[in-house]
Amino acid sequence: MSPKPETESTNVSVASFTRGAVGGPRVTLRLEAAAALAATIALYVHTGAGVGMFLALFLIPDLSMLGYLVGNRVGAASYNVAHSYLGPLALAAVGMALPSLLPFAVIWAAHVAFDRMLGYGLKYATAFGDTHLGRTGRAAAEKDRVGLQTDYAAS
């Protein structure tokens, strides 16, 4: 759906529209992620697995960023597979039958929550910094600056 031009009833302009969550919803999503991170850490402690294992495996999902060496489309797809809650939830479901897998599922979910808390969401294929939580990184500032100039020039 295309953004609506500014009207009295919507009070939203094309220039202020960005892809991804902004304002209050973005803050809420990041607070939810912080709560999920706290819950996953508590669950991990409950599994009885060691802190060393948690620290050693916590950043493993970030290896999915290697997909960006192939291109944005492959990079976004590989990143999103590793940074969605679907993977850790599926692993946790299998872990109900094989309890030794539960710590791995919890570490994975903790990583996803940590990234979301920091504002790193699921990626669009347009650029690494384009996420469902909004734009991130140096490219975000440049894209926003250029995008706003383009929007103002068009109006």
39-44 mean pLDDT: 98
- Neighbour-count burial for 16-47, b at 16+ CB within 10 Å, e otherwise: eebebbeeeebeebbeebeebbeebbebbeeb
7 to 4, 13, 14, 150: CA distances (angstroms)? 8, 8, 10, 20
pTM: predicted TM-score of the whole model, two decimal places: 0.78
Q: What is the pLDDT of residue 5?
A: 45
Model confidence at 35, in pLDDT bands (50, 70, 90)? Answer: very high
Distance CA 114, CA 108 (A): 10
Q: What is the pLDDT of residues 73-105, one digit of tens each?
A: 999 999 999 999 999 999 999 999 999 999 999
141, pLDDT greater than 70: no
Residue 134 φ then ψ, to 5°: 115, -175
Percent of the chain with pLDDT over 90: 63
- Computed over every residue of the chain, the mean pLDDT equals 84
With 0-12 CB in 10 A as exposed, 13-18 as middle and 19+ as buried, what is 147? middle
115, pLDDT greater than 90: yes
Give residue limits of the domains in the chain. 25-133
Distance CA 142, CA 136 (A): 10
Six-digit token pair at 1? 């759906």
> Which residues contact residue 32 at a Cβ distance below 8 angstroms, ignoring those fewer than 6 apart?
116
